[in-house]
Structure 1
Amino acid sequence: MYKVMIVDDEDIIVNGLSRAMPWAQYHCEVIATASDGISAQAKIRELHPDILFTDICMPGADGLAMLAAVRSEFPAMQVTILSGYPDFEYAQKAIQLGVVRYVLKPSKFSELEAALAAMTENLRSLGTAEPEEVPSAAQNFILQNAMAYIGEHYAEKLTLTEVAEKVYVSQWHLSKLISKNTNQGFSDLLNGVRIHHAKELLRDPAMKIWEISEAVGFADVTHFSRIFKKVEGMSANEYRHRVLSIAISKSEEPALV
């Protein structure tokens, strides 16, 4: 039996879909439902459904980000989107992330059954084979969102767990994606972003090194100094002197007549 999960914030849709579909005919069984994306994520990780019918626009959740997370963490899972928004660009992005069908609400029963038939056929084709290849679009979507969040919050006490929660994946999965696509661990990636911003602040001679250290999120200046030298091959003061010397030299160049 294939395990099915239904996610929608409208009870009438969840109940109607649970009762009306000929699940047994397709060797399926509804094992769980959810009314919001966050609880859905927890149940998906716990129960590992084979098939997911889910709304993509629910309060408090980024539908596309959650879809990317599901497709990346569970590549063999078959997903059909239920949406009340006939937005072509949105639907196109969902398809790029690997959904089987994108069904508009109010949904016709024939469309839903056709989606179920397509998903079960895909599962039969997979059989005992290795899981499908993860769509690169899903991985890229997750990484872009993770980097955007780091770019906005690098100055805070940021953890891998926090970033993973914001992009709807487990910290283990995000760590794997970062390592695979950047050849770095999370700490090195975060430190790289912090040092990048520190270099900009070092151009201001009025700012002290410890102030810059705090401004970019380091807990203490000793740690900042060690990381800066590791990344740039010179101390923060040496970098500052070099940058300021270049700026002064340029300002003293004679103007062309």
Structure 2
Amino acid sequence: MMAHCFQILVVEDEQLILKNLVKKIDRLGLPARVVAQAADGVSALALQEQYLPEIIITDIRLPGMDGLELIYQVQQKYPATKFIVISGYSDFEYAKRAIQLQVSDYLLKPVKEEELCKSLSRLILSVQSAHNDLELELQTEGHRAKVELIKSYIQQNYAKDINVNTIAQRFGYTPTHLSRLFMKIEQVNISKYLSQIRINYAKQLLHDKTILVKRIGEKVGYPDPYHFSKIFKSATGMTPGEYRDSICK
């Protein structure tokens, strides 16, 4: 799978510095490329709308709209955008304001290639990590939703001839994959979950003495009376008849 290439917008009003920055970024060999360049904040804002770069490297002192205002404007609409601020002014107020805007880094001119590389590398790794975490979270949420559907299916069809194989086939999984997924989300084996549902319904039906134990087994998905009795006793420590006697005294 091809690595994601991060798109960068560089904003600098001094053309020579702008060209040098772009050349330095190209030489770094990072999974990032400059897709747009601007010499002022207003143009940069328009280019942001056009290209939607994930990273903006901007000078603070810009004509029309300064870098800090540019960052603020972009953050209002595209909060995921990351920023590296460059400045020839080691003024604390600028640095403090940049920190308040949660920029990723603050570099002083002249920007050294090594520092630029470190700054961009850290930023790219941070964004990649966040993307991976989000993807994992979305996958987990998707799996959780699928397992909820499977649980609902089991609760509605427990009386039928269903098992791990038929459930897996219905939902497009292999039995092994489904078993692992269900165990990961629910912390219980899917076969055991199906059995628990059936036994719980059997317990309810056993309160009614007019229903034969054999019939109850059939109603909860165990047409073989011997198998039903064996499963029930394994789960409760009593046969269905013994359980009925204990609750219907």
TM-score, reference length from structure 2: 0.49
- Which structure has the greater CA radius of gyration? 2
TM-score under structure 1 normalisation? 0.48
